[in-house]
Structure 1
Amino acid sequence: MCLIAFAWRAHPELDLIVAANRDEFHARPTEAAHWWQQPAEAFGGRDLQAGGAWCAADRQGRFAAVTNVREASKVAEARSRGLLVRDYFATQTNADDWAARMHAEGDAYGPFNLLVGDRTSLWFVSNRGAVRHLRLRPGVHAISNGCWGDHWPKTEAAQSRLRTRIENDDLDAETLFELLADTDTVAIDALPDTGIGTERERFLSPLFIRSGYYGTRASTVIKRGADGSVAFHERGFDADARPTHAIDEHWTDL
């Protein structure tokens, strides 16, 4: 997943709002969002190549999502970053303890940004950048494939648009999917410089990436109510950006 806009305790009725795009090679095998058998009681999509996940929530009010961190040179990975999400739900660990553990063990994984939360806290954890272990305060945020605090046009746009929708109380799932569907590229002089060259930077600059070999494979919207309700919505896309599935699941935390 390469873009996550999220609001933590920034709405009177929803303690967590997530609008996220997962960008990946279209050839990589993937399973759409569903209730997992192993580990049980978690809901989200699965990566069938490495066995991990990019975004999920469970019946205990826990949530996790991960992005990679863009680097010019490829780093040999000891463990898939998707396991940071999957393995959280295989434990009874709270968010504070899982964040501390992943901060300590982060070097065993490929470059990552991790969000991990429960009903009482939400954490950012990474193995890149100056900020690697941060308990998040209430507010509206966005992360992509840079380090915490990087000002990329796509994260700035996603954060601003989510904040506006919260202020207008315009949080219908389809409205949030519309936020994620922006395919506009960024002007060259506004692009970040991550060492991959201008052409590739511009290709990766839209909120929704469209191409035949790599692009936005899924968009996810999660709304978790202060009353324990959870709404999890996923839309899948093929290499031509045509919808492949629409999944809408609702539950109440135990």
Structure 2
Amino acid sequence: MCIVLLTTAHPSYALIIIDNRDEFILRPTSRPHWWISGGDLTHQNANSNNADKSHANGQPRRHQEILCSRDLQRAEHGTWLGITKNGNVAVLTNFREDNIEDKDHPVHAARSRGGMVTAWLEADPEETTAEFVKRILDGGVRNVGGFSLLCGKLRKNDEKNSLKPLAIISNRTDNLEGIPWIGTERHRAYGLSNTSYHDPVAWPKVENGKRLLTEAVKKAVNERLDEDGLMDELFKVLDTDTLPVGPDMGFEDYIPVLKESIFVPPIGDEHHREAMERASRKGKKAELVEAEKDLLGEERPTASSQGFDSGMYGTQRQTIILVDWDGNVTFRERALWDAHGDPIERPAGDMTFKFKVDGWHEKRESEL
């Protein structure tokens, strides 16, 4: 059960985003890399269908340079979090659907949730957040598992010395009036996990996360920590483990209490543990060069990918995005497990990218 936390409280940064991806640990996932919508920078994306699309006026669609990790389990190769050189940013959390009678919100959907993220990351750079929100709602989000999508275009509002607003789209909201817009106020913390942003009963992990994030930023400011020092404090927030555990708890017993903890340690039943052990044994037989290649490239445990629910479940990846007032972005992803289910010692699994947002001071009419 993933969590994304945001803050506008640090004076040196317009926005800070921190995120835990909770998933089956052996689910094959690439490491973060740059790619182009319609054509990958590092390898061709056979599943992208944007290369030949055009605007309604017949003009060719402009491509986006995208930075993210990608899910290799499903053909869409979607993602849970990403950012573009043009400043489009998106983070997804899912609902745990448990009502098999609800046809509008299927438990197992035909369309990938991760495709909702790449829909914004691959959008034409000229499309505003508001236009995208309307397009998604008009097109419908049926046949997609329950999700919330935080999305927006990183642009500074020079008049108010703040960011342009970010939207939260959900397939629990089917009209523009119900869309929350956040991120414009300074000294605020926001949180989203696996329930609606409008849920009147806040999850403990979200409330705790917002408090800890605020404290981490305050400490970083008071102690004048540099960027790496700030990152260390933010990773401490993401590592906060308050999950209730018991000797007789099985996988299903943990599901209701996942809302308690920001970090999820590996959990599972006997068959989950056995799958992890098998993957680990296979990994130890692989040559060191191949293991290193897996860590830095596409993390497939074997030539044929593991099943969706293979291995233990827990926090698989952690990501921090810092955006300063000049539009400079620092993107750091931390892998906690290798392709074979073996833990990676912190911070050996870190990958860091730095770039400047194109159009940061772009003068455009309000998106609302």
Q: TM-score range by the shorter chain?
A: 0.7 to 0.9
Per-residue CA distance 1:219-244 (angstroms, 9 max, x = gap): 00000112010000000112465346
Which residue number corresponds to residue 248 of structure 1? 352
Which residue number corresponds to residue 131 of structure 2? 97
> 1:114-133 counterparts in 2 under 5 A?
114-118=149-153, 119=155, 120-128=164-172, 132-133=178-179
* TM-score normalised to structure 1 length: 0.87
Per-residue CA distance 1:76-135 (angstroms, 9 max, x = gap): 313111011112121222222222222332234210011001122211111127995111
**How much does 1:197 deviate?**
7.0
2:142 to 91, 107, 112: 107
Which residue number corresponds to residue 217 of structure 2? 166
Which residue number corresponds to residue 193 of structure 1? none
1:210 to 248, 265, 274: 265
Which residue number corresponds to residue 69 of structure 1? 95
Which residue number corresponds to residue 231 of structure 1? 330
Per-residue CA distance 1:164-189 (angstroms, 9 max, x = gap): 2233326711211111011222599x
State percent identity of aligned pairs: 30
User: Secondary structure of the equivalent of 1:106?
Assistant: coil
Letter in 1 for 2:72: L
1:176 equivalenced with 2:225 (yes/no) = no
Higher strand share: 1
Which residue number corresponds to residue 191 of structure 1? none
Which residue number corresponds to residue 146 of structure 1? 195
In 2, Cα distance between the equivalents of 1:178 and 1:218?
Answer: 14
Letter in 2 for 1:94: T
Going from structure 1 to structure 2, the CA distance change for 1:247 and 1:199 (only over 3 Å counts) comes to closer
Structure 2 stretches lacking a partner, 5+ long: 39-63, 101-106, 156-163, 267-310, 359-368
**How much does 1:200 deviate?**
2.4
Please give the root-mean-square deviation of Cα atoms over the aligned residues, in Å. Answer: 2.6
Contact 1:210 1:240 in 2 (8 A): no
> 1:185-204 counterparts in 2 under 5 A?
185-186=243-244, 199-203=254-258
Which residue number corresponds to residue 206 of structure 2? 155
In 2, Cα distance between the equivalents of 1:17 and 1:27?
Answer: 29
Letter in 2 for 1:63: V
User: Secondary structure of the equivalent of 1:148?
Assistant: coil
In 2, Cα distance between the equivalents of 1:158 and 1:204?
Answer: 11
In 2, Cα distance between the equivalents of 1:226 and 1:79?
Answer: 37
How many residue pairs are counted as aligned between the two chains? 246
Contact 1:20 1:219 in 2 (8 A): yes
Which residue number corresponds to residue 192 of structure 1? none
User: Secondary structure of the equivalent of 2:206?
Assistant: helix
**How much does 1:73 deviate?**
3.5
* TM-score normalised to structure 2 length: 0.61
